[in-house]
Amino acid sequence: MSLAPDMSCADERVAALLAREPRAARVLLRHGLHCVGCAIAPFETIAEICAIYGVSLERLLVDLRDHGASETRETK
């Protein structure tokens, strides 16, 4: 198992992450990202909100991974 954060999650839209993994809401809130229920969530990526709010993308992705909320999305 890799200890590196799942960087593929960085380009995922916040709303898509929350729909796929509701547990991610707690992680986002813990990092001061109040995107849960935000009208902009369907349009912004995880990387974008980190840049906007000055949150470390790598730390957020590690936390999401550690809480099982950043598993690689299944591709079709």
CB burial string 3-39: b at 16+ within 10 A, e below: eebbeebbebbbbebbeebeebbebbeebebebeebe
| CATH dotted code for 7-66 | 1.10.3910.10
CA distance 46 to 14: 6
pLDDT of residue 4: 47
Averaged pLDDT of the chain: 84
pLDDT of residue 72: 45
CB 15 within 8 A of CB 9: no
Percent of the chain with pLDDT over 70: 82
> pTM for this one?
0.78
CA distance 71 to 55: 20
For the cut 90, the answer to whether the pLDDT of residue 15 exceeds it is yes
Q: Where are the domains of the chain?
A: 7-66
